[in-house]
Structure 1
């Protein structure tokens, strides 16, 4: 099924995206699927190329967002000012993101929030100060890229490989296993880190077009995830499809 046929995000929803291996693809493909306008933002930072995926970019430049900033564009990207070396757009602070939530609600626009970074790698372990997930979100979507499976657990494939090794039990510089991904997703300091108590927890195993799983592998993920996530999916965010694991 299409991504939002599975996720059922509405025009009043506030959703945070964390993890690695498809956050940007998920947010912008979802925004294009919606039959209503949406707002994409971040609490960390956003690459220059990500901005071009939207229809309009609002640079708050230290100010608070206002409803009058928005027009009829389907996908509006909101950031703060550029960083010092002008390589990335800075994310919103607590007051800015809270105000943006109010603006999105008044305008009936879904609010999609990138809440951590992964340096475009398929897997990661959360850093000490991340994720930065606002307390008000209705849902947190945790993404893991299956494309790392079979590749070495090193800096070329995993963001913070030493910490990933510690949290998942996988040895560094050995091939990444499927079970290490499952263990990372259910670790309170891994995939579950920082999720607000009342938020819906959703796991997505991306890159299923590259790494198809057999029935026993799907069952392994199901057994790990079902106790910790309200829903879990496997699919290809690039191709635009998801299948439910339970």
Structure 2
């Protein structure tokens, strides 16, 4: 699967182009290894009907559900079919339970690429792995067309919103401390997931991005098409 075995991690997922899909796939992977999993958010995420939900925000309810369920999705309903993050005290409790916690830590409005806004991402201190996701369908298209927070993307790249994204631009966005690496501290591992790799051309682009990220010290790069359950080995 996408992850190496990590003992009971708290994983914060940022970026665009497949965050929720990555979280769901990863939760299922942990279950296949005999783990129970909590999925939550520090911002907002869509409600789901695949697994049991804890909508009270109560750590007691989450603990009770975990006695019979392998995966729990926890959050507080906030309208429009979404949930918002748990209270800080509840987050502190559940991240101390020695089970994997997967957190959606920013939003992207279903766009394949983004840069964080001023108040994003919301990465809690208990996080030990940050995963940044980008959709390869953004490459070779104008920033304004494929990027959430396109002004912020253009500012990081020092260009106009009309610029066509290149592989080098994706590398910059994933490596920059004002981009997807924002809020990642020295005690947190940083992984990049290149998703929506659905054609030979996109495989080539993903490999080039991987090579460039590796050269600047970002070694954990995963290439995949989550929708099609395709995962490419690192080279």
TM-score with structure 1 setting the length = 0.84
1:197 aligns with one of 162, 186, 199: 186
Judged with a 3 Å threshold, the aligned counterparts in structure 2 of structure 1 residues 226 and 59 are, in CA distance, closer, same or farther, namely farther
Q: Is the 8 A contact 1:152 1:173 kept in 2?
A: yes
Query: Who is 1:99 aligned against?
Result: 93
1:119-145, Cα deviation, whole Å (9 max, x unpaired)? 111001101011111111121111111
2:37 is aligned with 1:31: no
RMSD over aligned CA atoms reads: 2.2
1:191-233, Cα deviation, whole Å (9 max, x unpaired)? 1100122111101111111452338x73454223443424112
Q: Is the 8 A contact 1:232 1:244 kept in 2?
A: no
- Where does 1:169-184 land on structure 2 (aligned, <5 Å)? 169-184=158-173
SS of the residue corresponding to residue 238 of structure 1 reads: helix
2:135 is aligned with 1:145: yes
- Where does 1:207-226 land on structure 2 (aligned, <5 Å)? 207-210=196-199, 211-214=201-204, 218-226=207-215
SS of the residue corresponding to residue 212 of structure 1 reads: helix
Query: Who is 2:64 aligned against?
Result: 68
- Where does 1:99-118 land on structure 2 (aligned, <5 Å)? 99-103=93-97, 105=98, 109-118=99-108
**How many residues matched?**
230
Query: Who is 1:57 aligned against?
Result: 53
Which ranges in structure 1 are unaligned for 5 or more consecutive residues? Answer: none
1:95-123, Cα deviation, whole Å (9 max, x unpaired)? 221111123x1xxx311111111111100
Judged with a 3 Å threshold, the aligned counterparts in structure 2 of structure 1 residues 41 and 9 are, in CA distance, closer, same or farther, namely farther
TM-score with structure 2 setting the length = 0.88
Q: Is the 8 A contact 1:11 1:38 kept in 2?
A: no
SS of the residue corresponding to residue 102 of structure 1 reads: coil
Judged with a 3 Å threshold, the aligned counterparts in structure 2 of structure 1 residues 9 and 127 are, in CA distance, closer, same or farther, namely farther
Query: Who is 1:42 aligned against?
Result: 41
Inter-partner Cα distance in structure 2 for 1:220 and 1:77: 33
2:159 is aligned with 1:160: no
Which ranges in structure 2 are unaligned for 5 or more consecutive residues? Answer: none
Q: Is the 8 A contact 2:12 2:123 kept in 1?
A: yes
